[in-house]
Structure 1
């Protein structure tokens, strides 16, 4: 029962909110006071985002927007929530409105619009965001210089201020560097046939390195560019630099690239026949999350190619046995979760056919228990959700009214 009660609070009932708002308006007429304002709603939205309750956060955000439809913070938060809920058209609408209201300040809305766009349109949004970040960096540098010159009488405070500003500038540099990497990727993919594509890639990567020499993403992307230019030796050097920057860091370190980025790194390493390094990265990824399709496919492909390149027959068979185990894991995961990438599934099956033609199948049973029907038997009660949603809003409004009553008594 307790678990059911918790689950019931996950969906917001708009009808109940409208009823509460009408009551609020009636109270406004009597008291000339509102029970809650946009600031109160933003606090609630923030707490809901922290718990990943995006559906309920969406409805609170819509109510905040109805109170102040030109509030930039509300527009941006609403757009972020809509991206999480894959409501991309709605997100574009709200970020576009935020840009039209204040085009010259705040880079985040441009970065989100870049993610929601394609080709040269995406480049344009990212470039605007980068320009604003660079402007912010320049202003921050000037502020640091001014503070340093005016704080000579207190060296301790000066050093502390300088350190904090330096950290902020480094973080901003990393953001700019990452944005330039995204723009480079667009020219490697969507805009690869543009006349100046290669020139733009070099320009963006040089700027990214100028800002942040310790960003592994830049070197990884540089390797992609060098591969496209058939400069394989230079690509290997770039990947070596990228790996050196994070491979020995403790798990969870902020400088370690994302899981998806490291999957892309493995693909590059395999393409350059750097199989041992690819396996090292895959082992790290497996410890973080072993239910990723690409992980097992790339594991299997790597072992298969190692066997294919081996001059020793026994080594070849050993590598292909390992490849088969990994590819079978991919198939099991595919049957368990499902995947839209039929191309990888087909290639996996082709590799297994090749392996089985040369390596005796193992005696391990591949039987799997099917427990997927349990979820289908779950009952979902909308009425219960409506009750829970009303409770959520009643609690929120009660808290706001209590704050008002306390303040009113203090005034008396």
Structure 2
């Protein structure tokens, strides 16, 4: 298979599962004695607030009171990982397994976190495999219970969704490993096909699953199949306004935009990127891809001027919405790239590939006399100011 980005484990964190809190925690009060249950209860709130440092202090204290408390041990491991100390986090989580414990954990969270923090691809695959098997079993059991019945309570639906999302995330992470670290293995293509079928059976319309399917087809040189998948995903999102809850997370939309550009679907990529740019104007990759998409659009028009007449659409007022000319595309491209270069420097961004490509494009545009576009924007009082 064609090698893609290197990744021993998915960078997307999987949240610790929401399990029922002990009765002691529910009834604890600030005036009463401090016990492990109340400390664990407070740590759940802190973890939900991403206050990992304080959560660790509460959990360390809980372990002082009850060194064998499994929930505290798991949560402090997760908190340490989220806070950036992988060594300490893994040390805590591994204590949940034999020989430190009588039996390994019976729920997927520890396996998922250990997979995400694994340094070796085979280790990550092992933990992911165990977790996905657990999740698929839970999903199947819930599906069986739900047959012929009305939907359950709202909390039950949310729990099912959480299991499905965790399973999909883990399966996609496994595919990424086979397409990067293990891409030269003989079984890579077969395993990717098997994993993507499992993901599709769980959540066929999930955007990440569709993106993963398109990437697999690209690596197999099945470009038309990949293009159809990408177009299908774009059609699901076309016309959505920024902040629409139907839209997937920004990283998913950025990945979709990249694939759209790979298939020369420049206007479609710009449509998706417009939602990214409005939701997060400081997103470096969004600014970069917008500039690159506009540059590619200009190049496409140069090669095929008929694009200027074939893409005329109707605006909201009923008038013809004229597509941008080559000059306008390049001017808008430079504007986005200049903004990207500034964001790149301000944020000390680590992706050198984006930085060097932006510099290369800006140098070319400058040599060709392109001037960044200037937009009229309204300030908070409604007054027009020049951007």
Change (3 A) 1:162 1:57: closer
Q: Which protein has greater RCO, CA pairs closer than 8 Å, 6+ apart?
A: 1
Distance 2:145 2:163 in 1: 15
CA contact 2:335–2:372 (8 Å) conserved in 1: no
Report what 1:90 is aligned to: 88
- Consecutive unaligned residues of structure 1, counting only runs of 5 or more, are 1-33, 149-157, 365-412
Report what 2:253 is aligned to: 262
2:224 paired residue among 220, 233, 236: 233
CA contact 2:234–2:268 (8 Å) conserved in 1: no
Report what 2:141 is aligned to: 139
Residue 212 (1) aligns with residue 199 (2):
no
Question: Taking structure 1 as the reference length, what is the TM-score of the superposition?
Answer: 0.71
Distance 2:49 2:167 in 1: 29
1:197 paired residue among 171, 188, 193: 188
Residue 72 (1) aligns with residue 63 (2):
no
Q: CA deviation at 1:113?
A: 1.0
2:37 paired residue among 39, 43, 50: 39
Distance 1:45 1:290 in 2: 33
Report what 2:112 is aligned to: 111
CA contact 1:205–1:222 (8 Å) conserved in 2: yes
CA contact 2:207–2:252 (8 Å) conserved in 1: no
Residue 323 (1) aligns with residue 333 (2):
yes
CA contact 1:216–1:243 (8 Å) conserved in 2: no
Structure 1 residue ranges (4+ consecutive) displaced by more than 6 angstroms after TM superposition: none
Larger Rg: 1
Distance 1:83 1:94 in 2: 10
| Corresponding residue SS for 1:304 | helix
What are the within-5 Å matches in structure 2 for residues 3-402 of structure 1? 35-100=33-98, 101=101, 102-103=103-104, 105-117=106-118, 118-144=120-146, 159=150, 161=152, 168-248=159-239, 256-311=247-302, 312=305, 315-361=325-371
Change (3 A) 1:189 1:78: same
Change (3 A) 1:358 1:131: same
CA contact 1:275–1:306 (8 Å) conserved in 2: yes
Change (3 A) 1:362 1:289: closer
Change (3 A) 1:108 1:251: farther
Count of equivalent residues: 320
Q: CA deviation at 1:170?
A: 4.8
Distance 2:57 2:156 in 1: 37
Q: CA deviation at 1:176?
A: 1.8
**Range moving further from structure 2, 102-111 or 287-296:** 102-111
- CA-based RMSD of the aligned residues comes to 2.6
Query: Deviations 1:291-342 (Å, cap 9, x if unpaired)?
Result: 1111111111111111122224993222111111011001111232212223
CA contact 1:320–1:359 (8 Å) conserved in 2: no
